[in-house]
Amino acid sequence: MSKRFAIPYAFSQVDVQLLPEGGHLVDGFKQTVAFRAQYPDGRPAEVLLRVQQGEELEEVPTVFGGMGEFSLQVARDAALKIEAFDPNSEAVVPVKLPEIQEKGLVLQLVDKPELSYVTVFIQGNIEEDLVLINQSENLISFMVPGMLTNGIWGSRIPKNTLFPGVNTLTVVTRDGKPLLERQYFHDEAEALFEVAVQDESAGKGRRAPQRLGLQLASAEEGLPAKVSVAVLDAAQADDPAAAHETIYTSLFLAGDLKGKIHQPAHYFKDKSEETLRARDLLMRTQGWRKINWEQVQEMDFPEVKRLIERGINIEGRVEELESSRRGLRGGSISAIYDDGEGIIQTTFGEDGRFIFVEMDYFDTTTVVLSAKDDRKGEFVKIVLEVPEAYFTQLEPEVLAPGQIPAALLATFNERRLMNTMLDEERILDLEAVTIQAETIQAEDERQRKIYGDGDVTLRADDIPGAEGFVNIFQMIQGRVAGVRVTTTTLGASVEIRGVGSVQGGTEPLFLVDNQPVDIGTVLALNPRDVSFIDIFKDPAKAAIFGSQGANGAIAIYLKTGAERARADAPGTLLTRQGGFTFPREFYVPAYDQEDEKNFLNDKRVTLFWAPEVELVPGETAYLDYFNSDEAPKHFVVVEGMDEVGRVTRKVLTLGAN
């Protein structure tokens, strides 16, 4: 057993950073300076900042999260002393002032909620043409040229031009050199929508049925939306209203600010002056330069190292079995996965590199890769590239004992027993069996043939030289009476003649592992992946396919994982690849039914969870679940987004006060 706990740092290890508004201190100007105090592990430190300039001493406390601000008349020759003071231990840490520039710009931003614009006031001693740029998410929303007149310049930015969330102000010269930068947060009511929640339950008694009704608060102006709904036992859970992370923090903060944000939900708890001031300090102390304007001027765009993945990608290269001077010419490579249900093909060039994109399968599956080079044929080998892990190590967050609700600790044993009993449903006890390969293989073939046996069965292992064939039709050609196969450089045609053909000259029905496919898909298959082929000629047997089998049918069955495990086959690689996790439905006890699981003590923390509830204007979505043994008070959390990207979050407390 191991236990992690945080060792408190000494105050002498506190780091205090001073960050002037706009980014620089300029000699001769009065500026606002934000500060941030934190310990080496990133936790904020509450300090009292002492700023002594000449005979004047100002003591500035932190506002929230170790942040605060003070005004400073910047002067190079001034006697200035700044230190962080801990009132508890009376320890003192000296604070270094940033370098003071002789020439430059200083900025002051005024953003009052009641005004329809943001005011930007700029002072300085630079005589150059300037450009003020406002951008969010790398999209420019406002840009205006100008220059200092008598050392002053300013502008008003209409709020209806701004994007909701983090915005960045930058002042650059005409040649793209940035002189100052400032981040701020823009609130926009139109970026949100409201959801009304109605409790229609009779009470919060033991295992009592519960019902919630959800609807869009404004049916006239509402748009279809999808929300998640969670119901928690209030005694065992922290108040969601004080949660550290919400949909607001994920979309509007975490995506734009680097590093760990201390209690990010605090900045959205209300619209009070104290909360807005704390959020503005966060913008000034945890901001970072997102755009290199010199590179923008030179059209030097950053390298894209990670692509958006809409599925599972398999990447690698094809190499020669034996190195030669001529090398590869390029060719095709195919992948069969998900027990033969998925087939994908792509090409590779002279360098041998290939990639399969947007594959979709669940759990760990066997993938069989088959490559053929236009010069080397199948005498090549396939090497896969191991994808780089996004996260090589995740450090757990250490919680203090007081951060865990006492009721949650008290019900640990009951919840563990309940989880164990539910997991036992997925455990199967197998009796001892004797496995005989021939019998199992024959039985497996019968199970795979859902349409029964064909008139003729061709087995790949019984055809001499089958591994050297170019396509599957060469395995059939000349081996089945009444079946004429014509192959050309452009493709192939198949015609089954005799009593099974009522429309001479048309193609038969093709199936791969019982799935209908076209002739192009069959041509793309590698003959070495085929286990056996059933050919249906007799109309009695072909009748099972209906009108599609009027001209006969050719059913192709691919090798299973065991059959493909031939390591000595050139041009082939058998590998196990991880897929998507199977979705699991959230467990909700059904206390209105007889079930042996209902005899367990029910001490669940999360009483109900629905990850995707669809809301339509003018309609009510109902959610039904059961209460636990003892949860008289519930927290309900609703978060989601509508079809135009507006978001919502609602927290309610239901039940006993």
CA distance 239 to 343: 50
pLDDT of residue 564: 59
Q: Of 494, 496, 491, whose CA–CA distance to 471 is shortest?
A: 491
Q: Of 602, 654, 646, whose CA–CA distance to 627 is shortest?
A: 602
pLDDT of residue 418: 67
Q: Of 640, 472, 457, whose CA–CA distance to 541 is shortest?
A: 457
CA distance 23 to 31: 11
* Amino acid identity for residue 280 in this structure: D
CA distance 285 to 205: 49
CA distance 126 to 153: 11
* Three-state DSSP class for residue 556: strand
Report whether 559 contacts 529 (CB < 8 A).
Answer: yes
Residues whose CB is less than 8 angstroms from the CB of residue 357 and which lie 6 or more positions away in sequence, other chains included = 309, 310, 311, 313
CA distance 90 to 489: 88
CA distance 48 to 634: 40
Residues whose CB is less than 8 angstroms from the CB of residue 458 and which lie 6 or more positions away in sequence, other chains included = 475, 476, 479, 480, 532, 533, 535
Give the distance, in angstroms, between the CA of residue 342 and the centroid of all CA atoms in the same chain.
24
Residues of the chain with pLDDT under 70: 1-6, 219-221, 243, 389-404, 418-444, 465, 467-468, 489-490, 498-505, 561-568, 656-657
Q: What is the CA radius of gyration of the chain?
A: 35
Give the distance, in angstroms, between the CA of residue 502 and the centroid of all CA atoms in the same chain.
54
Out of 2.30.30.280, 2.40.30.10, 3.90.180.10, 2.60.40.10, select the CATH number for domain 105-189: 2.60.40.10
Report whether 564 contacts 334 (CB < 8 A).
Answer: no
Per-residue pLDDT tens digits for 435-476: 555 444 555 677 788 888 888 999 887 887 676 677 888 888
Residues whose CB is less than 8 angstroms from the CB of residue 432 and which lie 6 or more positions away in sequence, other chains included = none
pLDDT of residue 509: 92
Element (H, E) at 85: strand 80-85
Domain 437-562 in CATH 3.40.50.300? The answer is: no
Task: Give the CATH fold of the 11-101 domain.
Answer: Immunoglobulin-like (2.60.40)
11-101 and 437-562 share one CATH topology? no
DSSP state of 466: G
CA distance 356 to 367: 12
pLDDT of residue 392: 64
pLDDT of residue 502: 46
pLDDT of residue 196: 93
What count of residues does the chain have? 657
Question: β-pairing, 48-53 with 30-38?
Answer: unpaired
In the chain, helix, strand, coil percent, each to 5? 20, 40, 45
For the record, the structure tokens of 117 come out as: 């614009």
- The 15-20 sheet, strands edge to edge: 15-20, 30-38, 67-73
Question: How many other β-carbons are positioned within 10 Å of the β-carbon of residue 254?
Answer: 15
Residues whose CB is less than 8 angstroms from the CB of residue 621 and which lie 6 or more positions away in sequence, other chains included = 213, 214, 215, 613, 614, 615
pLDDT of residue 89: 87
Instruction: Give the domain ranges of the chain.
Output: 11-101, 105-189, 193-236+603-657, 241-288, 312-384, 437-562
To the question of pTM greater than 0.75 for the whole model, the response is no
Out of 2.170.150.20, 2.60.40.2550, 3.20.19.10, 2.60.420.10, select the CATH number for domain 193-236+603-657: 2.60.40.2550
CA distance 565 to 568: 9
